[in-house]
Amino acid sequence: MHKGIACFILLIMLGFYSRAQETSSAPQNARQALIEMLFSKTKGTFWKHLPEATRAALEKSGAVEAFHQYSTMATQVQTAQNIQTFETGPVMVSGVDPKTGNKFEMIVERDTLRGERDDIEVSFKAYKDGQPERAPFMPNVTFSMKKEADLWTLNEVSITIHLPLADPDMLKALTEKMKPEIHVQTTLDNGTSTDRPRTVLTTGNVAATDANSDALVINAMRTIVAAENTYASTYADVGYTCTISNLDGFGAGEPGPHQAMLISSSLAGGRRYGYVFTLSGCTGTPAQRFLLTAIPNEPGFGRKVFCSDVSGTIRSTDESNANSCLAKGSPVE
């Protein structure tokens, strides 16, 4: 999604913008009230156009002052995007990023007035180098305005996401994200080898597609080692655990030896980034040692085996046999 529009939608959710509007002696309509609410530089205009029940609840909770503090951030973002507002016509808001020259607009798709309720539906358009940008996931936002004591208030905000399943841009983005990746080992002129990602062919757990997947595995190893040390000191009568799910980070109740809440459930599942993480060697009571290994879920393609123990040193080896990792593996910096 266009950067300017993403910032603008964020500010709509916060509800604070800053653009002075000229006052008129005529009664304010719903669109004018919405613009004043979202874009006025005068402190309190957003608050004024909230429903009375909402203001009362916020006042009771003591959140009013914190609520107002968002206006400073909104002012800075709005100024940076050179935002202009229009009380009439199809364009309600336009903005230009001074750094890139990219433009975005908020277009009024419909303005349905029914007595004391007015539904204003808007869409968004982005322009790059003067040309419209295609964005299949662009949302539509409906502001439902309601009159309370002769004042238009924002009663409801609805967001609709359109997903055009046959849109070429959407299909291209979808297929590129689903494209697997393979790690190919190539030999350099100096005789060394390097592991470079190309296209992955996997079954079962999908391998990590990031070019820095080794770094992700190493970070996961460090997380588990740190969790083991915390676990052993917390549950001294148990010592280290060789059941990785005992380190799980989520669940009901208080932490305990079978759910220490030290790592995420995704990592505690033992499969992550195309690797299988295994704990072993926890002998004795309490257990004084452990062995952590990370073995590729799909062997080959030049992927390494990683290991560590109570020393905290992480080692790697090109051999597929994890048993030789501690003895022959090279320390990871």
The 10s digit of each residue's pLDDT in 285-318 is 999 999 999 998 876 667 889 999 999 999 998 8
Same-domain status, 19 and 121? yes
In tens, the pLDDT along 6-53 reads: 656 655 555 443 343 444 457 899 999 998 888 777 777 788 888 999
In this structure, is residue 189 part of a structural domain?
Answer: yes
Return the DSSP state at 28.
P
Same-domain status, 20 and 70? yes
In this structure, is residue 174 part of a structural domain?
Answer: no
Same-domain status, 209 and 307? yes
In this structure, is residue 128 part of a structural domain?
Answer: yes
Helices (H) and strands (E) in the chain, counts: 10, 15
In this structure, is residue 193 part of a structural domain?
Answer: yes
Return the DSSP state at 90.
S
Same-domain status, 156 and 193? no
User: How many other CB atoms are there within 10 angstroms of residue 302's CB atom?
Assistant: 16
What CA–CA distance (Å, rounded) separates 292 from 271?
A: 13
Task: Tell me the one-letter amino acid at 123.
Answer: S
Same-domain status, 153 and 220? no
Same-domain status, 153 and 205? no
Q: Which neighbouring-strand residues pair with 315?
A: 307, 331
CA end-to-end span of the chain: 38
- Backbone φ, ψ for residue 266 (5° rounding): -65, -40
- Domain range for 202: 183-331
The pLDDT of 101-107, averaged and rounded, is 87
Determine which helix (DSSP H) or strand (DSSP E) holds 286, and give its type and residue range: none
Angle in degrees, CA 165, 166, 172, rounded to 5:
90
In this structure, is residue 167 part of a structural domain?
Answer: no
In this structure, is residue 209 part of a structural domain?
Answer: yes
Number of structural domains in the chain:
2
Same-domain status, 221 and 126? no
CA quadruple 115, 85, 109, 24: dihedral, nearest 10? 20
In this structure, is residue 173 part of a structural domain?
Answer: no
**Which of 5-9, 129-133, 186-190 has the lowest average pLDDT?**
186-190
Final residue of a structural domain among 161, 192, 227: 161
Q: Tell me the average pLDDT of the chain.
A: 77
Same-domain status, 7 and 133? yes
Same-domain status, 256 and 136? no
Question: What pTM, to 2 d.p., does this model score?
Answer: 0.46
The pLDDT of 139-143, averaged and rounded, is 91
Return the DSSP state at 191.
S
Return the DSSP state at 12.
H
